[in-house]
Structure 1
């Protein structure tokens, strides 16, 4: 108990230095946590992917479509329980900066594959009845103030023209990690328009979403699907939904790596600052350590004083940084709109913050603690002014 009181009093001896050190720790741990949350948000789609869902696309590239006739063959593959399909639409709402994903989907079977999209039954039925009906996620609806019955005009880029969709439902996420920044509408509506305006682009889909009976059969089912279309004009590549999502993340791997590096560089910088603070404190108290040694206190006691003070400062700074992370993250997510579909602090991020603070405290105290433990009583007492 007396040791703890002495550690606290030592930490508060130079109040300005303590305040500045803790402030630096708060900024560092806050920045570290925010950057790690950004990285986590980058992988949100892959982390939320189902292990019983496969995605089949054109083997050459995602930009090339697949015939609608493939659906029946895929459904016939052993181990497949449900098949749906979707097209990326890429429309512009009002102005180019208003970006959000829009997908033309096959309807009920697509929604059945994704039970995490929670939708009231009456809204689901209204959507399925209306050819121009659309579903929007809760976060997307909040961002653009969409309401049931609103008409959403989109200017097509991949599919040119002016398109209008009627909001028939607003879906929520079953979990906080569920993406609710997307808009869904009927593939049939898109296809009917293409049959009139661009027949050569009709009856084609971007990807097939395949639900399988068991995740253990993913590799075998994927191979069987791709074998069904080998040597055809549109060969396929089938992979797990997680691998499909990670293929998009890999396009920006350099950015993710850079963010990770910056987050750890921040910790190294504050480690150097903290080490300097503890070295200054230990140097100023050299005579006190010599006196304590002369009174019979061992090297272990002196080391505990220094390590305890360093850990107190680092963990206190980390606690404040972790507490500030939640409002800062919420404000950042609000500013980003729908750029990050899921942006929340993960428990693992908090553990990393405190783990980093613990490492900073121990490393910063190592050299001063060793010096204090080895201080010569006579030399230490000579330093008394």
Structure 2
């Protein structure tokens, strides 16, 4: 009889217990795997770092505004080639759950900072002529079936119009092609139109975007910008565009913290289940283990047999969880056309990480029961085995 034969026969001896042991472990690993998949969906494309751009916000919070006049001071720095200011509009279309990114941008400087944005001549003409004109990405246009010339109304709880209404009507000028790594669903409106019609906040913006000169270290540029406003009324915090975009997109909460909490719960559940299962197995099979000892099995070989069973149970739960997560991700991609939940995925490194956690938990959960096996004289149970 091989060790593998003994392991599989022992595992299948009590199918109901095996299922009841594997199922809670599987649920724990599924939760952990899905959180990792969501975290991956929020990863920013790091092509943004190649654009040599940095983003400046108020040091207190992005909710606190910055003075647009401060842009002129950044423009005077030798390492900058272009600077623009942007304000988050924060509206929704028809229903509160129909949200997407909307930015009020400066007409004169925005496309100097984002030169790779492309739009047709027709869209550009309407965009320049009509104060209410907005530009939308192709994916956003497909989502709501918007066409050039359509009038759309966005409702925002942030900006109130001078007539005390929170409804803003815009005209679709056309589509624009966003840069790689930026948001696929976004709308650009004119900052001047927002400024002229909002009840409060004139001359304020949410953040600045600076394009750093080639050959200049972005970290040096970030420190220089922040030093410029160190002693002002609105001290700043500047970061790389990729870091800012990632933090801005993670509006569901701190997924890194959530991942750690779910991992801690998964580890606790699996550890308790494996320890309990192993301890119960050792007690129930003490006569069987005594026979193994009598026919020549060493204590280490018996311990290896039990350890292999424990690791196999945990790995089976882990494998089922990864498959369930993969099927879930595939289903969401088929059902959803946008949003982070449409991009849930488990990468090879994530699967290896989960596998390492599973094997480690299988070994850790078997530690104390196996310690008893190695310490006790198994032969004392031999009489009751006959």
TM-score range, shorter chain: 0.7 to 0.9
In the TM superposition, residue 310 of structure 1 has moved relative to its aligned partner by 0.9
| 1:293 corresponding residue in structure 2 | 293
> 2:297 and 2:75 mapped to 1: Cα distance?
78
Distance 2:220 2:235 in 1: 17
How far apart, in 2, do the equivalents of 1:228 and 1:147 lie?
A: 43
Whether 1:180 aligns to 2:179 is: no
Answer whether contact 2:294 2:379 (CA < 8 A) is retained. no
Q: Superposition pairs for residues 1-385 of structure 1, below 5 Å?
A: 2-39=2-39, 44=43, 50=49, 52-58=52-58, 62-63=62-63, 65-66=65-66, 68-106=68-106, 110=110, 121=118, 123-131=119-127, 132-136=133-137, 138=139, 140=140, 144-149=143-148, 150-157=150-157, 158-160=159-161, 161-166=167-172, 168-169=174-175, 171=177, 174=180, 179-181=183-185, 183-187=186-190, 190-192=191-193, 194-195=195-196, 197=197, 204-213=204-213, 217-226=217-226, 228=228, 236-241=236-241, 244=244, 257=257, 260-329=260-329, 338=339, 343-384=344-385
**Shift in CA distance, 167/36, structure 1 to aligned 2, threshold 3 Å:** farther
Counterparts of 1:236 and 1:32, CA distance in 2: 36
User: How many Å separate the matches in 2 of 1:207 and 1:240?
Assistant: 13
Deviations 1:164-220 (A, max 9, x none): 231622657846xx5434x23143xx414644x469855654322112246973343
Q: Where do 5+ consecutive residues of structure 1 fail to align? A: none
SS at match of 1:19: helix
Could you tell which deviates more after superposition, 239-248 or 144-153? 239-248
Following superposition, the deviation at residue 145 of structure 1 comes to 3.4
- Contact residue 35 and residue 255 of structure 2 kept, 8 A: no
Tell me the secondary structure at the aligned position of residue 301 of structure 1.
helix
CA RMSD of aligned residues (A): 4.0
Question: Residues 82, 252 of structure 1: CA spacing in aligned structure 2 closer, same or farther, 3 A cutoff?
Answer: same
Query: Which stretch of the first structure deviates more once superposed, 46-55 or 206-215?
Result: 46-55
Q: Give the TM-score taking structure 1 as reference length.
A: 0.78
Count of aligned positions:
372
Distance in 2, Cα, partners of 1:369 & 1:29: 24
Deviations for 1:277-307, whole angstroms, at most 9, x for unmatched residues? 1222222221222112211221221111111
Say if 1:151 and 1:167, in contact at 8 Å, map to a contact too: no
